């Protein structure tokens, strides 16, 4: 890295730097290659591995597993901060860039609300609820209580589907209608509702379902 710079290193070599050392029969780079090979060399899939999963590899103890997990979490948070710099929401793609690092890799459902001012600039992004694999309960009153506290004039809704499907469920559609109706009574617009997966999203606004 000192001689050639970080961009010259392969993913396996970067993992090897985190590991520090391999085992008696395997170098750190070879161990890194083996770990990456188990997830088809996909860093997003690597980020999904638990500490227990990582510790199944010979040469990876608790400390090394924690180091790898911490590095991947920093990368995820860094991507999230880059997205947050785009403070003005211009399209559904802006929402996806903001929320994918937060929701894209989760194995459970979460429901978030993005609160906006009259210029569509983000006032705050708030997790409204956290649920299980197939759903989460949303308190409509709480969603708009926060909106009133922030002085928001519009909101964008977002939740994830751990299954990877982009098709909104009947419950998703009904909840969107309820939130839109509640917002209208308070003069707070629901601009969009995104279903987020690891690599794609569904926009209610883009599909003219609002």
Render pLDDT for 95-139 as a digit per residue (tens, 0 to 9). 999 999 999 989 899 999 999 999 899 999 999 988 866 567 788
pLDDT at residue 137, rounded to an integer: 77
Alpha helices, DSSP H, located in 122-169: 140-150
Q: What is the CATH number of domain 88-203?
A: 3.40.140.10
CA atoms within 13 A on the CB side of 160: 26
Q: Where are the domains of the chain?
A: 6-80, 88-203
Q: What is the CATH number of domain 6-80?
A: 1.10.150
CA dihedral 45, 10, 96, 166 (to 10 degrees): -40
pLDDT at residue 37, rounded to an integer: 94
Contacts 24+ apart (CB under 8 A), 55-60: 57/31, 58/23, 58/26, 59/19, 59/21, 59/22, 59/23, 59/26, 59/31, 60/19, 60/31, 60/35
pLDDT at residue 111, rounded to an integer: 94
Q: How confident is the model at residue 86 (pLDDT cuts 50, 70, 90)?
A: very low
Asked which of 11-20, 136-145, 151-160, 170-179 is least confident by mean pLDDT, the reply is 136-145
pLDDT at residue 80, rounded to an integer: 67
pLDDT at 82 over 80: no
Query: Between 23 and 200, whose confidence is greater?
Result: 200
pLDDT at 89 over 90: no
Render pLDDT for 54-80 as a digit per residue (tens, 0 to 9). 999 999 999 999 999 999 999 888 776
pLDDT at 45 over 60: yes
Q: Is 154 helix (H, G, I), strand (E, B) or coil?
A: strand
pLDDT at 83 over 60: no
What is the C-alpha to C-alpha distance for residues 106 and 99, in angstroms, rounded to an integer? 12
């Amino acid at each position: 890295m000192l001689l050639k710079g970080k961009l010259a290193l392969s993913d396996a070599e970067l993992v090897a730097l985190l590991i520090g050392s391999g085992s008696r029969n395997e170098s750190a780079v070879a161990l890194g290659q083996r770990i990456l090979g188990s997830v088809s060399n996909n860093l997003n899939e690597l980020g999904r591995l638990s500490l227990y999963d990582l510790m199944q590899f010979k040469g990876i103890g608790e400390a090394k597993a924690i180091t790898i997990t911490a590095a991947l979490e920093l990368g995820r948070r860094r991507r999230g901060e880059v997205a947050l710099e785009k403070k003005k929401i211009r399209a559904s793609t802006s929402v996806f860039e903001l929320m994918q690092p937060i929701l894209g890799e989760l194995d459970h459902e979460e429901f978030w609300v993005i609160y906006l001012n009259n210029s569509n600039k983000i006032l705050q992004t708030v997790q409204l609820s956290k649920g299980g694999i197939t759903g989460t309960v949303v308190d409509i009153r709480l969603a708009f209580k926060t909106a009133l506290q922030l002085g928001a004039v519009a909101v964008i809704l977002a939740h994830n589907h751990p299954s990877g499907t982009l098709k909104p469920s009947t419950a998703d559609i009904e909840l969107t209608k309820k939130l839109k109706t509640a917002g209208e009574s308070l003069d707070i617009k629901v601009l969009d509702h995104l279903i987020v997966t690891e690599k794609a999203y569904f926009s209610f606004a883009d599909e003219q379902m609002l």
